[in-house]
Structure 1
């Protein structure tokens, strides 16, 4: 569709039937797929790309002609302008031109475990890459927009110990188990590896190492390249995220100037949600910086002078946390952002869109509709991820595209005026007919008090269909427990997708009441609320879950508190196992998948937790069996004797996120405590098995049916998960 911004008038970009006819005529009898394979679109042309041929179709003439396809080079990562790219050979970087066979060797010091273009063994995807024989472009490369320079990151893991993964059922059909050994450092290891970041000048064929000093480490890649080609900007942190900063890198010398720096005693970050894009922007024309900080207890945006590093003003205020910087109108000097988190709202997890002047003043609400408002932060074209222009904000700063929804209201995409928030046009209303036809029912949003009796908490409950008055239903607590994400859906999309754990709506359809509560220690509200989990992880959140479920049972009357189970994956695997061990009289069953049941045998997760301290501030393990005292409280193995109910531990053989050894160490503790438990071992499965394994999902359902509902699961049932082409992308 083509939409006229000022009026909202919509017209089709092209006539689908005419385009198909024109393309098939040009394709000489080749049948096009049901969905036209459009790979590029302008107001005057459409490009259709098949596996081995392409067509350029002019509009509105609907005249298609064959277009040349570039030679397939899956091992090459191309610069934005496309004239040249990089590939790796024998651990070194090579430059090749798009046209011609010329290649140039750029480096000669690459080595095994210190290679260019290679992911770290700590990447959480090392084993699939080791098993794959397919060519792939180099990792750790960030190009400047003009393709004249690039940044390379490589990891020196030559002294890091290897970590064994045994592939007991080889994928190639052979019978002898295979051993994969990526380099993975564990908590307390003396050798964790070093990182080298360097800037390459393509024309000069030169390499300049970025010279970070005083304990600073690069956080990710360069996110902004100056227009004059002299500087680049990246984010930096200190060990355990005790400080964060903005680094200006001199591209000629590699020298670094820390423009902005801030001490952060408890896990510093650049966005309240660490998986979201950092809320830092360089405004190069005015030599200014937008900087995210939680120094006043809430996530706010501050304004700095790029040259001096001095604070100019605080741009946002109030008891709400900025979620994302959506865009900047540098000409009119306006910032656009989303925010939420205040308890004064009907729900602190609702997100709204705001604007504010870079020169100071109160923020203006642009999206008054109740619910969760989301705006795209995908960069346009070759713009760097940290640039001001995004797909949500029009280049002239006049219009914003965003969508909003609630648990019972499907997403609606709208075009708004960036000046006053006026809705110019409804662009799309999500077609949820297939979801509705499947029997989907919106869950219920709830509010309870935490275990301290005073802090308000919010959650979401999926109820079974056709509930009977006076009947009590078994309850399942769907948990995560990690301090970096929320778990209880607040909008339609999140309620349907239910990222972690899966099966909430499915379990409700099977007859369970499924509860999610975002307890103390989770993000999205104040920093103090989030910090509650810093040293104790899920301890307080579990107390809140128990208190909240008891309140809901009293409120609704249909909760059977004699049949309460819990399940979760990853950090949720830890939290679900902790639940049945810490509250054995409340939780009667736990399905714990891929849980890090102790952290002394895990890779470092400093930042989410404090750095491991073996005494006197020492973070090197004094002996192989040492447990850092500040991690002892997190260890589930000493709690093994407390197990009363039914527990199943599930792990994937090739899971690098939650190491299989830690699950087996937990199993060993339960065996030593003479406890009855179940163990499910999934050959070849990675961390994603909670999304991808129909077998695991069915067995998890069976476990709840048999041991919590106390019924016999169907013996002839066979769950199948639709292939991605049969779904909407999941």
Structure 2
């Protein structure tokens, strides 16, 4: 690999290396109770564990880290410890199934029996039962030992109980890693029932994936298969939901439900009532144009529709695609907090649970609710993240706010300039495993009673500062951590631009080259991801959850490029009308036309930008956009790097394109409303340098989409570069160090950067 090595400055900023140089960019508190939490920090000599008293902000070492590490003799286990309990100087610790007690008074680490369930099993809330799945059926056993019994007996191939859909985009990856997910089932609070489903994928399209270099060292290609419905397919996976009584094994059908990439249960779109008598769940229609909250009687299966949200384009439960719904069922008071964009912005409404009628609009204004963090029923208030508003200098900057359930004035807890947010939960399968009762409570910025919140504040000019805030009056109780980086950073400049319509304000981040000299000219790299389910430009210089993206900007800057990340029209976190512009318009992904309009604006005040040398680069939907950029605007983009691009949405998991492009309509002449999105139809327009890349085990965006574009370019007689790697999937391709170096080499060579390795 030595012939691919880049300059030391670039090597130190590669996405595979750069995150290790960043420290304490945020704090993820794990609350032991309403008044205490613990968190990990990156100390000078490694991971440290701190305990914090919320009332005073006093923090101290949770235990003697050096002594515990020495007793464990397992560096990886020490770095992943969870604190499960604190009683004086006796600390409960866990890692995976392993358990210990650290007795600080005598300095001893005492091993405890392993927890009774594995990662692929589910423990009941009372700790008495362990649920597992095998050969498509559910099995139950006592947690403390005893005979196992079969809970269902109707499982069959591709008609399995409590299974994550094949189209989850990681099914083959999970199988290749030898992982098993726990059963997808929601325990009732009294541990006497579960809410789950039998997933019917029998008629769904069969999609093959060929592994050309099997991990076992054999030479014959290995065939994997998954069931994945494409846009326009008639046969879809269906979840036949049911309540199952643990004691009797009785199965109470609760009706069918559509599934997207994952099931509603995996997306946390189901809730039990406090008395375990009812289940509430969200029903989606195929095209995400209607979402309904359904209440089901857990004893009879009788259902009623509580409230629905409808739109001609799409409806959402959170502005972040696939995130936890901004909905809470308050069955104790017979109420519901509902999320809606009915007044043009994303807001919260208090509704009657019996009738669905709106009792009060909790929030209102020309800004969106970004995340519902919690509901304090005792104080009758909600704690949430909100955008700054259309009139703000930066509408994407977030604020922590409090509003009364019954309406009234809103309080902003973080009025200072900058972006303010707690650590937000992810919904990947790693989070599902952790939520399965593995090692105690998940990290949450908000305390269990809603009295305190841990917030990280940052902006383009400063790294994250994390602090503890009291919700009652917004007072800062204590500073917890200041983010840092071991490497010199190029801090970005926040830029405001006008869209192609000449009216709409747009925003982005611009990084200068690391060796910046105003007397020289530098090429520009447009790093794109078009959404429309997210934004591309980071809200701060070094967000803890976007280090890979930032690493690309820092590495490219060190290689002699200016770097732009901006958001065109049609993305979330602003008005409803702003976001709806994307619908049916994926032929202009992320409004690349706005990028093209923005370049002269950037260059007008920056003579050091060479607008004759603009490159575009993206992965996945960004890969589609990167290829679209150089094909549709060959006079603007001279270099493009398109990896894992979704160049043909008719051969993609139907959930994403059907929500954003709409229903696939086939016309009598054989054309369709999806034709304009296909990059292969523009192959004859290529003029510049194009690198196409893909991993051959990508089950998210199939390798065929890149190869089909490659064939179209070949038939058009175009010169392009093709990079295929064995055994890389959607995530590992873009994190492959060899691939990263190849891409950076390609960019520097084709752009003629003055800084070369």
Runs (5+) with no aligned partner, structure 2:
1-49
Alignment of 1:564-603 (within 5 A): 564-603=614-653
> Residue 385 of structure 2 aligns to a residue in which SS?
strand
**3-state SS in 2 of match to 1:603:** coil
Secondary structure of 2:336's aligned partner: strand
2:452 counterpart residue number:
399
> What displacement does 1:607 show?
1.3
| Paired residue secondary structure (1:270) | coil
Please give the alpha-carbon distance, in whole angstroms, between the structure 1 residues aligned to 2:296 and 2:152: 21
Matching residue of 2:247: 203
Whole-angstrom CA distance in 1 between matches of 2:74 and 2:637? 60
8 Å CA contact retained: 2:189, 2:275 = no
Residues 30 and 575 of structure 1: is their aligned pair in 2 closer, same or farther, counting only changes over 3 Å?
Answer: closer
Choose which of 411, 429, 440 in structure 2 pairs with 1:364.
Answer: 411
Distance 1:502 1:376, change over 3 A: closer
**Contact 1:150 1:199 (8 Å CA) reproduced:** yes
1:422 is aligned to: 475
**Equivalent-residue separation in structure 1 for 2:288 and 2:277 (angstroms):** 28
User: Structure 1 residue aligned with 2:742, among 669, 693, 699?
Assistant: 699
CA 1:391–1:35: 2 relative to 1, 3 Å:
closer
The structure, 1 or 2, with the larger RCO (C-alpha pairs under 8 Å, 6+ apart) is 2
Is 1:665 the equivalent of 2:708? Answer: yes
Alignment of structure 1 residues 211-230 onto 2, 5 Å: 211=255, 219-220=264-265, 222-230=269-277
The residue that corresponds to 1:611 in the other structure is 663
Work out whether residues 218 and 236 of structure 1, in 8 Å CA contact, stay in contact via their aligned partners in 2.
Answer: no
Task: Indicate how the Cα distance of structure 1 residues 397 and 86 shifts in structure 2: closer, same or farther if over 3 A, else same.
Answer: closer
Per the alignment, residue 654 of structure 1 pairs with 697
- Is the Cα–Cα contact under 8 Å of residues 185 and 603 in structure 1 kept in the other structure? yes
1:56 to partner: Cα distance: 1.5
Contact 2:515 2:558 in 1 (8 A): no
Tell me by how many angstroms 1:536 deviates: 0.9
Q: Does the aligned pair in 1 maintain the 2:155–2:161 contact within 8 Å?
A: yes
SS of corresponding position for 1:246: strand
Please give the alpha-carbon distance, in whole angstroms, between the structure 2 residues aligned to 1:689 and 1:402.
31
CA distance in 1: counterparts of 2:82 and 2:259, whole angstroms: 49
Deviations 1:573-627 (A, max 9, x none): 0000000011001100100000111212222132122111125xxxxxx9xx954
Contact residue 40 and residue 47 of structure 1 kept, 8 A? yes
Shift of 1:709: 1.8
Alpha-carbon contact 1:87-1:137 (below 8 Å) kept: no
Instruction: Tell me, yes or no, if structure 1 residue 476 matches structure 2 residue 521.
Output: no
1:16 Cα deviation after fit: 4.0
Residues 32-56 of structure 1 deviation map (CA, whole Å, 9 limit, x = unaligned): 9775945423143213457896432
RMSD of equivalent CA atoms:
3.0
Aligned residue in 1 for 2:17: none
1:275 to 297, 318, 322: 322
Once the two structures are superposed, the pairs formed by residues 107-256 of structure 1 within 5 Å of their partners are 107-133=152-178, 136-211=180-255, 219-220=264-265, 222-256=269-303
* Secondary structure, aligned partner of 2:691: strand
* Residue 460 of structure 1, CA deviation: 0.3
Report the TM-score, using the length of structure 2 for normalisation: 0.85
Which range moves more in the overlay, 543-552 or 218-227? Answer: 218-227
Alignment of structure 1 residues 26-65 onto 2, 5 Å = 37=81, 39-44=83-88, 45-49=90-94, 54-60=99-105, 62=107, 64-65=109-110
2:311 aligned with 1:259, yes or no? no
What is the CA distance between 1:143 and its match in structure 2?
A: 2.2
Quote the offset at 1:255 in angstroms: 2.1
Q: What's the counterpart of residue 34 of structure 2?
A: none
In 1, Cα distance between the equivalents of 2:76 and 2:313? Answer: 56
Q: Paired residue for 1:449, among 498, 513, 516?
A: 498
Alpha carbons of structure 1 residues 36 and 610: separation in structure 2 relative to 1, 3 Å: closer
- Matching of residue 630 in structure 1 with residue 679 in structure 2: no
TM-score (norm 1): 0.88
Partner of 1:87: 132
CA, structure 1 residues 109+308, in 2 after alignment: closer, same or farther (shift >3 Å)? same
Indicate the residue corresponding to 2:570 in structure 1: 521
Q: Call closer, same or farther: CA 1:496–1:711 in 2, change over 3 Å.
A: farther
Could you say which residue in structure 2 is the equivalent of 1:639?
682
Change (3 A) 1:180 1:626: farther
Unaligned ranges ≥5, structure 1? 616-621, 715-730
* Contact kept in structure 1, 2:64 and 2:104, CA below 8 Å: no
